Amino acid sequence: MGKPRSAARLCAMASAWALLAPGALHAQTAGMVEEKLPPPTGLAPYFTPATADPIAPDADGFLRRWLLLEPVVKPNRTNTGFTPSYVREALAPATYPGKFEAVPREGDSAAAGLRWHALDSSLFDMKLFYLAQGLGKPTYGVIFWAVTVVNAPREMRGVRLAMGSNSASRWWLNGSEVAGLYGDRRMVMDDVLSRPITLRKGRNVLRGAVINGPGLSDFCARFVDEAGKPIRDITIDVK
C-alpha cells in the first residue's frame, strides 16, 4: 500500500521546497551539508557479521555476503543527474578508495578513515541506507563500494550477472566491467543483466559501487544461467 494521496502530495511538496530552498536541505541531504548525524541505530535486523565459513546463495540465487565500505560522501541533490557519463566518472576504478584489485578484510581502513565491514544480509538485498544509518554515517549523497568473492566449482560459461540497484551503480567481475545501471533507478531484481560472461573455476571477485542522492539505497545481485535460472551451486565468501 502506498501513502494516502494527500500525504504523498504533502511529501512531494516538501521535497520540492527542499530543492528550491537551500536552507531547508539539511534534513534531506546528509552528506551535502554539515549536519549533526543521528546516533547509530545498529546493524540489526538487516545485517549480521559474516560467519567464518563460506555460504551458498539463497534459494533464488541472491548473493547475501559482501564486504561493504562505509559511505563515501558525494553530494547529489537529485538522482536524475546519474547519466552514464556522470556515473562512469564518479564510480571509476580511479575513485576507488584503495587498491582496486585487492580484496579488503573485515575492519580494514580505507581512505578518509572509512572502514570495511564483512556482513551477511538477512534479506535478498543489501540495504545500504540502513548500513549507513546503523553505523551513524551519512545516508544521502553518498557512494557505497562493495566486494564479494564467488567460488565456482567449475568453469561456468554463458552466465549473466543480474543486478538491481538504487540508485545508479557499476560492477566489475575479476577486474572487467560487466554491468552498469544508470539514471534515477529504483531497485528491482534482474533489472540489468550483463552480457554472457564466464565464472572461472575457483575464486572470482565481484566488485561494485552504488551512488545515491536522496532516498533509500540498496542493491541485489545474482548470477543466472542462459535460461535465466538462478545459479546456486557456488559459494560466497569475503576472502
Partner 1 sequence: MKIAALPLAALFLLAQPQVASAQLAGEPFIHDPSTITYSDGRWWTFGTRGGGLVSEDGWTWRSGGERPGGGVAPDVIKIGDRYYVAYAVGGGGMNGGHASNVKIMWTKSLDPKSPDFGFHDVGIVASTNGLEPADAIDPAFLLAEGRLWLSYGTYYGYIRMLELDPKTGDKMPGSQPVDVAIDMEATALLHRDGWYYLLGTHGTCCDGPNSSYNIRVGRARSPTGPFVDNMGVPLLKGGGKLVVAGRGRQYGPGHFGLLDLGDGVEKFSMHYESDLDRGGRSVLGILPLLWKDGWPVAGENLPAGTYEIQSERGGGALELAVDFVRIPFDVRRSFFAKPGDSTGPIPNQTLAENRASWPAGAIEVDLGDYMIRAHQQWAIAPAEGSGGAFGAPYYKILIAGTERALAVGPEGSVEAVPAFTGAPEQLWRIDQLTDGTYRIQPKAQADAKHPRALVAIGRSTPALMPFDPASDAGRWTFQRP
Binding residues for partner 1, rule: CB under 8 A, are 13, 16, 19-20, 80, 83-86, 160, 162, 164, 181-183, 188, 190-193, 195-196, 228
209 beta partners: 145, 170
Distance CA 159, CA 224 (A): 6
> Residue 105: which residues within 8 A CB-CB, separation 6 or more?
67, 116, 118, 238, 239
Find the shortest distance in angstroms from Cβ 19 to partner 1.
7
The CB-of-122 to partner 1 minimum distance in angstroms stands at 24
* Closer residue to partner 1 (CB): 104 or 180: 180
**Of 51 and 83, which CB lies nearer to partner 1 in the complex structure?**
83
Provide, rounded to whole angstroms, the least separation between the CB of residue 157 and partner 1. Answer: 12
- If the CB atoms of residues 60 and 101 are measured against partner 1, the closer one turns out to be 60
What SS3 string covers 91-139?
CCHHHCCCCCCCCCCCCCECHHHCEEEEEEECCCCECHHHHHHHHCCCC
> Closest distance between partner 1 and the C-beta of residue 233, in Å?
21
139 vs 165, which CB is nearer to partner 1?
Answer: 165
Phi, psi at residue 179, to the nearest 5°? -155, 145
**In the complex, minimum distance from the CB of residue 84 to partner 1, in angstroms, rounded to a whole number:** 6
Helix (H, G, I), strand (E, B) or coil at 44: coil
Quick one: cell of 73? 560522501
> In this complex, which beta carbon is closest to partner 1, that of residue 71 or of residue 164?
164
